[in-house]
């Protein structure tokens, strides 16, 4: 049983305005050839209040987001079971269904809470493989749907689901809103919230590992400065400002430090900000430009981009030995690298034949794999289960977000309904 109160840490207090419409939307441009067939039966509604949110539709949208599942519509179902005894496996096999989900929504003993009970069936094996409950206020039904999707995905695919995670990104000025906005939203674009708005540029959002804060860069003071935004309290803290560039914050896995780029020593170099001591520690010192840091999952090293060899390439700084190692050698431009969650590879921007692609590289073999075929791709961010990459690109002259699964089989775009979006940052998993 999951008590949904524990999942509300990212769902902001009344300090922020939250909108339930979709700010972004996912449009699939190509999926797998043989998706998993699943049926999500409309859940039995046992509440006195009228039904405004349909959980089966949320789960359907989640599972179809990245092209791996094909969901049977209720209109094609031979029956609409809501209990285990009402499930007839033969009927679902006739429809080509691999998995089935049924459930109910009802009151708990507390007036302000509801319970969503659901069962996942394996049709071929003729048995249920998971039974679960999600408890929370009725206002959290959309979040309950995402949490159920996460569990279903893990039970079938063996990877953690990412439908309860959040995406941070920068909204550029538009005719609707002349300001830059630091936004967070659900992966499906709903629950969109502007955390901070400014007429001056905002850049480089980075999530804290506990998902309660976001570091970013603002130019509101006439120069770049790194700020931390606390999500629940709305408290905003500026890091100790140094002369020159203060940019590219990236949170350490344990949340105690932030890697960033400062130019106070002359050239842009990597520094680490100790949040307890409130002081900067210099990591690199070179006449070239060092920028775009990213922490290894084990905290032992930091990726960064440097032109110290004459062109932008990816390097790795070992924090124990202080040794610098070049990682990329293929091509004359490789930048904005991010470790994969397992630490065995990186994703980065790679230029080939004058076109900027998103690519991956195996750190052991050095093999590079180009994933995207669009141009001007940049700012990749990896899902916390390592299965999906979202990045910034162009749709004509418009800045949009797009994505691709790690195997390259599913491609999608995420156009903004209100303007243009850049610099995505995927949140850690929701426990």
pLDDT digits (tens, 9 = 90+) for 224-272: 999 999 999 989 999 999 999 999 999 999 999 999 999 998 899 999 9
CATH 2.120.10.30 residue spans of the chain: 166-426
Q: Which residue has the tokens 């699964």?
A: 405
* 381-389: average pLDDT: 97
Pairing relationship of beta strands 18-19 and 192-198 according to DSSP bridges: antiparallel
Q: In the beta sheet, which residues pair with residue 180? A: 198
Which band of pLDDT confidence, cut at 50, 70 and 90, is reported for residue 22? low
Q: Residue 8: which pLDDT band, with cuts at 50, 70 and 90?
A: very low
Query: How far apart are the C-alpha atoms of 240 and 279, rounded to whole Å?
Result: 7
Question: Mean pLDDT: which of 33-37, 149-153, 283-287 is highest?
Answer: 149-153
Instruction: Give pLDDT tens digits for 302-343.
Output: 999 999 999 999 999 999 999 999 999 999 999 999 999 999
Calculate what percentage of the chain has a pLDDT beyond 70. Answer: 95
Q: What is the 3-state secondary structure (H, E, C) of the chain?
A: CEEHHHHHHHCCCCCCCEECCCCECCEEEECCCCCEEEEECCCEECCCCCCCCCHHHHHHHHHHCCCCEEEECHHHCCCCCCCHHHCCHHHHHHCCCCEEEEEEEEECCCCCEEEEEEEEEECCCCEEEEEEEEEEEHHHHHHHHHHHHHHHHHHHHCCCCCCCCEEEEEEECCCCCCCEEEEEEECCCCCEEEEEEECCCEEEEEECCCCCEEEEEECCCCCCEEEEEECCCCCEEECCCCCCCEEEEEECCCCCEEEEEECCCCCCEEEEEECCCCEEEECCCCCCCEEEEEECCCCCEEEEEECCCCCCEEEEEECCCCCEEECCCCCCCEEEEEECCCCCEEEEEEEECCEEEEEEEECCCCCEEECCCCCCCEEEEECCCCCEEEEEEEECCEEEEEEEECCCCCEEEECECCCEEEEEEECCCCC
Q: What is the pLDDT of residue 403?
A: 94
Q: Band the pLDDT of 23: cuts 50, 70, 90.
A: confident
Main-chain dihedrals φ then ψ at residue 140, nearest 5 degrees? -100, 20
Closest CA to 368 of 339, 338, 345: 345
What is the Cα–Cα distance from 287 to 363, expressed in whole angstroms?
26
Q: What integer pLDDT is reported at residue 48 of this predicted model?
A: 87
How confident is the model at residue 235, as a pLDDT? Answer: 93
At 95 the pLDDT is 98
**430, pLDDT greater than 50:** yes
Percent of the chain predicted with pLDDT > 90: 80
- For residue 21, the model assigns a pLDDT of 54
Report how far residue 67's alpha carbon sits from residue 387's, in angstroms, rounded to the nearest whole number: 12
> Is a pLDDT exceeding 90 seen at residue 396?
no
Token pair in block for residue 358: 């998103």
Q: Select from 175, 224, 178 the least CA-distant residue to 197.
A: 178
CA gap 107, 105 in Å, rounded: 7
Q: Predicted confidence band at 73 (pLDDT cuts at 50, 70, 90)?
A: very high
What's residue 280's pLDDT?
96
The pLDDT-based confidence of 180 (bands split at 50, 70, 90) is very high
pLDDT at 394 over 70: yes
State the pairing for strand pair 378-382/388-395. Answer: antiparallel
Least confident of 8-12, 324-328, 376-380: 8-12
Q: What is the model's pLDDT at position 6?
A: 39
412: confidence class by pLDDT, cuts 50, 70, 90: very high
Q: Which residues contact 71 (CB under 8 A, 6 or more apart)?
A: 38, 39, 40, 60, 63, 64
Res 112: pLDDT: 78
Residue 37 CB-half CA count within 13 A: 14
- d(CA 355, CA 377) in angstroms, rounded, equals 8
Domain with CATH 3.40.50.10070 in the chain: 31-157
CATH topology of domain 31-157: Rossmann fold (3.40.50)
CATH architecture of 166-426: 6 Propeller (2.120)
Mean pLDDT of the chain: 91
The per-residue pLDDT for 431 is: 67
Label residue 2 by pLDDT band (50, 70, 90).
very low
pLDDT for the residue 4:
37
d(CA 318, CA 304): 11
Give pLDDT, residue 91.
Answer: 97
CB atoms within 10 A of CB 132: 17
Task: Please list the residues that pair with 300 across neighbouring strands.
Answer: none
Decide if 290 contacts 302 (C-beta within 8 A).
Answer: no
Q: Please check the confidence at residue 1 and state whether its pLDDT lies above 60.
A: no
Residues ≥6 apart with Cβ < 8 Å to 411: 28, 29, 30, 372, 402, 403, 404, 405
């Amino acid at each position: 049983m999951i008590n949904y109160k524990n999942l509300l840490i990212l769902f902001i207090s009344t300090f922020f305005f939250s909108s339930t419409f979709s700010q972004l939307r996912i449009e699939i441009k190509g999926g797998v050839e043989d998706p998993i067939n699943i049926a999500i039966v409309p859940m039995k509604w046992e509440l006195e209040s009228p039904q405004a949110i349909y959980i089966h539709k949320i789960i359907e949208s989640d599972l179809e987001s990245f092209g791996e599942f094909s969901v049977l519509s209720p209109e094609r179902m031979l029956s609409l079971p809501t209990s285990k005894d009402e499930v007839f496996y033969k009927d679902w096999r006739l429809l080509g269904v691999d998995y089935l989900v049924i459930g109910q929504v009802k009151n708990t003993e507390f007036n302000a809470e509801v319970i969503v009970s659901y069962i996942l069936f394996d049709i071929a094996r003729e048995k249920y493989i998971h039974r679960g409950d999600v408890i929370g206020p009725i206002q959290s039904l959309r979040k309950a749907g995402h949490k159920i999707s996460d569990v279903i995905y893990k039970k079938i695919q063996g990877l953690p689901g990412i439908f309860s995670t959040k995406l941070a990104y920068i909204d550029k000025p538009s005719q609707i809103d002349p300001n830059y906005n630091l936004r967070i939203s659900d992966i499906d674009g709903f629950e969109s919230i502007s955390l901070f708005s400014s007429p001056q540029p905002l850049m480089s959002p980075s999530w804290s590992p506990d998902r309660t804060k976001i570091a970013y860069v603002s130019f509101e003071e006439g120069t770049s400065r790194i700020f931390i935004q606390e999500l629940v309290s709305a408290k905003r803290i500026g890091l100790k400002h140094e002369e020159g560039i203060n940019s590219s914050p990236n949170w350490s896995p344990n949340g105690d430090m932030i890697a960033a780029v400062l130019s106070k020593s002359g050239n842009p170099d990597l520094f680490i900000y100790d949040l307890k001591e409130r002081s900067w520690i210099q990591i690199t010192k070179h006449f070239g430009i060092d920028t775009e840091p990213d922490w290894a999952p084990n905290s032992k090293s930091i990726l960064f981009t440097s032109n110290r060899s004459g062109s932008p390439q990816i390097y790795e700084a070992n924090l124990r030995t202080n040794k610098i190692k070049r990682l990329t050698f293929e091509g004359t431009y490789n930048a904005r690298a991010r470790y994969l969650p397992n630490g065995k590879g990186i994703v980065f921007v790679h230029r080939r034949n004058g076109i900027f692609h998103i690519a991956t590289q195996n750190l052991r073999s050095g093999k590079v794999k180009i994933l995207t075929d669009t141009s001007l791709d940049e700012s990749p961010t990896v899902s916390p289960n390592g299965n999906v990459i979202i990045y910034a690109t162009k749709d004509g002259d418009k800045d949009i977000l797009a994505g691709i699964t790690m195997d390259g089989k599913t491609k999608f775009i995420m156009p903004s309904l209100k303007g243009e979006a850049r610099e995505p940052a995927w949140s850690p998993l929701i426990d």
